[in-house]
């Protein structure tokens, strides 16, 4: 059965052009980048080239780019790295309740070491008011960490404005751009970001490669101890093929953006309009300030997981956005922070499009979903 993949927020397929760029470093060019002979130097040259490629897209210096093992590690390095480096100056962190767990659980971890976190609330669209961030800042604030776009509901946050407020107070600002990377402009100067996290598998690159931009002068305490790779910011033999793949994928995503995104957002808009014609459905996230590929909903009187299973039988891969913990399905922390009633939050469905989805894919969903919802409601 042909799979209709509508879970690009979870991960994406590796682009064939990215695989081509990676293959030499998985086969003949297998040297360790720390070795001084030719094979090792080739590996180091490949990493240097990848770093320059990423820096060009982010509008920063190559020395400000660190490769990590995933988006979660980039978030951890940014938050713990800053927090532990500046603990003597201040022990206060500012974030939002709709962040990814890579950020939320890192802040909770730091609370065990004496840090205090302010979670600035969002509105019913999941959007922050930059002035609320400004009001949360104190003389003790060591870091503000806010996502560029939400992974569940797709809402885009006013990060440039938040960054401007932080910069005026000389407080480092970290942007979790893991969902936005490959879809929205990511010039770090325009975003007023001091730190920015990306993850290659979200933009048709390999899994297991993260990127962290850290502005020169921002002091980060490394979180992986060992060798002096990545200019001492992250020990461990470099994943050369992965790094080359991440940089190639990022470049291709931004080269393709003007062609791909208008098409993807048109599919999204058709999907949203069609799904909202189902009685008892509601769009989640901001109506306009949302990722071009994200269509997310809640349905009255239905469990999101049941919708997923019904769609899976048709070969459709989708998500609810809620986390499955120890057998019980908790409603999403994002939807609850947006003040959705718990009952409704249980009926969530997230459809995230990608560059290879077609009009026929949208037709299939729009033909199947009303019947699925109706049947599930009758079963309750």
Catalytic residue annotation:
324
Name which of 91 and 320 has its Cβ closer to ligand PLP. Answer: 320
The residue assigned the tokens 């910011």 is 233
Closest listed residue to residue 323, CA positions, set 67, 105, 23: 105
H helices within the chain, ranges in order? 16-26, 38-58, 71-85, 101-111, 130-136, 159-168, 240-275, 304-313, 333-337, 342-345, 359-379
**What is the smallest separation between the CB atom of 1 and ligand PLP, expressed in angstroms?**
26
Q: Read out DSSP for 194-219? A: SEEEEEGGGTTS-SS-EEEEE-TT--
Q: Does 147 bind ligand PLP (CB under 6 A)?
A: yes
Q: Which stretch, 84-92, 176-184, 356-364, 371-379, contacts ligand PLP (CB under 6 A)?
A: 176-184
Q: Does 102 bind ligand PLP (CB under 6 A)?
A: yes
Give the burial string for 95-108 (b: 16+ CB within 10 Å, else e).
bbebbbebbbebbe
CA–CA separation, 141 and 93 (whole Å): 6
Q: Does 178 bind ligand PLP (CB under 6 A)?
A: yes
Closest listed residue to residue 272, CA positions, set 261, 280, 282, 260: 282
Q: Does 70 bind ligand PLP (CB under 6 A)?
A: yes
Q: Does 157 bind ligand PLP (CB under 6 A)?
A: no
**What is the smallest separation between the CB atom of 105 and ligand PLP, expressed in angstroms?**
11
**What is the smallest separation between the CB atom of 243 and ligand PLP, expressed in angstroms?**
14
**Which of helix, strand or coil describes residue 32?**
coil
Closest listed residue to residue 200, CA positions, set 253, 261, 262: 253
Residues of span 24-63 touching ligand PLP by CB under 6 A: none
Q: Does 100 bind ligand PLP (CB under 6 A)?
A: yes
**Candidate list 75, 194, 230, 238; residue touching ligand PLP; CB under 6 A:** 75
Q: Does 199 bind ligand PLP (CB under 6 A)?
A: yes
Name which of 22 and 369 has its Cβ closer to ligand PLP. Answer: 22
Q: Does 71 bind ligand PLP (CB under 6 A)?
A: yes
CA–CA separation, 247 and 254 (whole Å): 11
CA–CA separation, 251 and 263 (whole Å): 19
Residues of span 311-350 touching ligand PLP by CB under 6 A: none
Q: Does residue 235 contact residue 228 with C-beta atoms inside 8 Å?
A: yes
**Candidate list 66, 72, 183, 229; residue touching ligand PLP; CB under 6 A:** 72
Query: Residue number with the shortest CB distance to ligand PLP?
Result: 71
Q: Does 107 bind ligand PLP (CB under 6 A)?
A: no
What character string, x for contact with ligand PLP (CB under 6 A) and - otherwise, covers 203-222? Answer: -------x------------
Q: Does 91 bind ligand PLP (CB under 6 A)?
A: no
C-alpha 263, offset from chain centre: 21
Q: Does 293 bind ligand PLP (CB under 6 A)?
A: no
CA–CA separation, 374 and 364 (whole Å): 16
Enumerate binding residues for ligand PLP (CB under 6 A). Answer: 70-72, 75, 100, 102, 147, 151, 176, 178-179, 199, 210
């Amino acid at each position: 059965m042909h799979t209709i993949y509508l879970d690009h927020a979870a991960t994406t397929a590796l682009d064939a052009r990215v695989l081509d760029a990676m293959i030499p470093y998985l086969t003949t060019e297998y040297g360790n980048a720390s070795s001084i002979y030719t094979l090792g130097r080739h590996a180091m040259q490949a990493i240097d080239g990848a770093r320059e490629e990423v820096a060009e897209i982010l509008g920063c210096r190559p020395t400000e780019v660190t490769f990590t093992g995933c988006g979660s590690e980039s978030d951890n390095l940014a938050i713990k790295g800053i927090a532990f480096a500046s603990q003597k100056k201040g022990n206060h962190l500012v974030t939002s309740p709709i962040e990814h767990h890579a950020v939320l659980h890192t802040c909770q971890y730091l609370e065990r070491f004496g840090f205090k976190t302010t979670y600035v609330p969002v509105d019913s669209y999941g959007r922050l008011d930059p002035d609320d961030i400004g009001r949360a800042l104190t003389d003790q604030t060591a870091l503000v960490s806010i996502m560029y776009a939400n992974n569940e509901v797709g809402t885009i946050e006013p990060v440039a404005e938040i960054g401007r407020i932080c910069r005026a107070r000389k407080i480092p600002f970290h942007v979790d751009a893991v969902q936005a990377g490959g879809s929205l402009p990511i010039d770090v100067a325009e975003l007023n970001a001091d730190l920015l996290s990306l993850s290659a598998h979200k933009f048709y690159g390999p899994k297991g490669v993260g990127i962290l931009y850290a502005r020169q002068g921002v002091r980060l305490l490394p979180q992986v101890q060992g060798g002096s790779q990545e200019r001492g910011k992250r020990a461990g033999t470099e994943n050369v093929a992965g790094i080359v793949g991440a940089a190639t994928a990022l470049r291709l995503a931004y080269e393709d953006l003007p062609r791909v995104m208008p098409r993807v957002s048109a599919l999204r808009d058709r999907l949203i309009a069609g799904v909202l014609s189902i009685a008892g459905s509601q769009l989640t996230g901001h109506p306009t300030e949302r990722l071009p590929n994200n269509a997310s909903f809640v349905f009255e009187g239905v469990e999101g997981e049941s919708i997923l299973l019904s769609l899976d039988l048709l070969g459709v891969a989708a998500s609810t956005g809620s986390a499955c913990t120890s057998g019980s399905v908790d409603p999403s922390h994002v939807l609850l922070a947006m003040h959705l009633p718990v009952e409704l939050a249980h009926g969530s469905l997230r459809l995230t499009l990608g560059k290879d989805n077609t009009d026929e894919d949208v037709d299939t969903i729009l033909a199947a979903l009303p019947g699925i919802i109706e049947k599930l409601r009758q079963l309750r």
